[in-house]
């Protein structure tokens, strides 16, 4: 099996795992850094190594449009194209069914999109998505699904789940790249029975791993945890579980306690571009005037390149002056901070102190909620 559970916490459902891929092994729980267009914004591949990135995400929808299937194929796949030899996971484009709702029309076979770039129409469904992911050569390909909005009435959710399951079956039947794993995605909104039904049907189809989708779409935090709790019990213990679109420290800790192994989010790069640093004591607005004369690092005790070499004062100056280096340094810090956080989490599970560690995380990172 490509995924092995190495250790389990005695008081929660948290677990340590090892996920073998065609481009290397991944230690779980893991945070996966988003590189939508084949680039984690502002970072080079060597930065990814230094910031301890294990997996990079690419997006099928966006890569189909730019640079396009033919260009990626000519390059020999996304690994060669972007100069990254570590694992890559690709989103299927299903999130864009949600995020670009005003620019698409759903059919039985997939989605007719109007390009967000120039408005031209193109079709993306299970066949087209899996073909593009095969050309990309990602280590993990996601099935094409419909990510539901919040709120969503039950009738719409029921119809969507059946659509997602049809697309999952069609995705499984398509050709895949050598060594490529395929993950199913559990949908169902806030309806526990629909989540269970979707999970059980996906397990019946048989996938290498399972994601919990339709979270981080504007729902209250308790609804997110409810979606996880309604899905995990019906997923195999010997397969990785992945909550999509989640990158807030205390939320990831809570989801790991509920049996989740994998996460991704644009948060570390996005908030860096707005001048905010992720720290173990909560998020910090580095652009604020109070740091103008501060000669300390962005985060005390941090070992990233930014914190080893530069001060809050200098990084603040760069950000406020519009210097690209400021965005780059803060991005390096944020990506490092989340990957270091996952290392702490894995150590806490291995050391048998995960519950105590999780409680402290909730106290320490309460400022995350305010950013």
Q: For residue 277, with 0-12 CB atoms within 10 Å meaning exposed, 13-18 middle and 19 or more buried, which class applies?
A: buried
Q: Quick one: CA torsion of 225, 149, 31, 17, rounded to 10 degrees? A: 60
CA–CA gap between residue 306 and residue 32 (Å, rounded): 21
Catalytic center residues: 91, 264
């Amino acid at each position: 099996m490509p995924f092995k559970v190495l250790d389990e916490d005695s008081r929660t459902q948290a677990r340590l795992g090892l996920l073998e891929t065609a481009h290397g092994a991944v230690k779980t729980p893991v945070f996966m850094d988003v590189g939508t267009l084949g680039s984690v914004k502002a970072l080079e591949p060597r930065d990814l190594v230094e910031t301890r990135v294990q997996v990079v995400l690419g997006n099928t929808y966006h890569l189909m449009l730019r640079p396009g299937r033919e260009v990626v194929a000519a390059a020999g796949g996304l690994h060669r194209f972007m100069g990254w030899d570590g694992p890559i996971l690709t989103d299927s484009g299903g999130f864009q069914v949600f995020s670009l709702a005003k620019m698409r029309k759903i059919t039985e076979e997939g989605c007719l999109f109007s390009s967000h770039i120039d408005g031209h129409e193109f079709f993306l469904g299970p066949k087209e998505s899996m073909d593009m992911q095969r050309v990309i050569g990602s280590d993990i390909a996601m099935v094409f699904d419909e990510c539901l909005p919040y709120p969503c009435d039950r009738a719409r959710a029921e119809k969507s789940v059946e659509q997602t399951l049809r697309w999952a079956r069609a995705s499984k039947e398509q050709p895949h790249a050598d060594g490529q794993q395929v993950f199913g995605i559990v949908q169902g909104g806030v309806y526990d029975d629909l989540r269970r039904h979707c999970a059980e049907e996906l397990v019946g189809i048989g996938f290498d791993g399972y994601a919990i989708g339709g979270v981080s779409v504007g729902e209250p935090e308790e609804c997110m945890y409810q979606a996880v709790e309604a899905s995990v019990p019906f997923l195999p213990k010997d397969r990785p579980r992945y909550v999509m679109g989640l990158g807030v420290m205390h939320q990831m800790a809570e989801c790991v306690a509920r049996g989740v192994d994998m996460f991704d989010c644009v948060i570390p790069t996005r908030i860096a571009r707005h001048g905010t640093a992720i720290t173990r004591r909560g998020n910090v607005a580095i652009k604020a005037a109070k740091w103008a004369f501060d000669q300390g690092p962005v985060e005390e005790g941090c070992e990233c390149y930014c914190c080893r070499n530069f001060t809050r004062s200098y990084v603040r100056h760069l950000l406020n002056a519009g210097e690209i280096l400021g965005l780059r340094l803060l991005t390096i810090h944020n990506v490092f901070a989340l990957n270091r956080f996952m290392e702490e989490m894995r150590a806490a599970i291995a050391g048998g102190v995960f519950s105590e560690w999780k409680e402290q995380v909730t106290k320490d990172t309460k400022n995350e909620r305010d950013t």
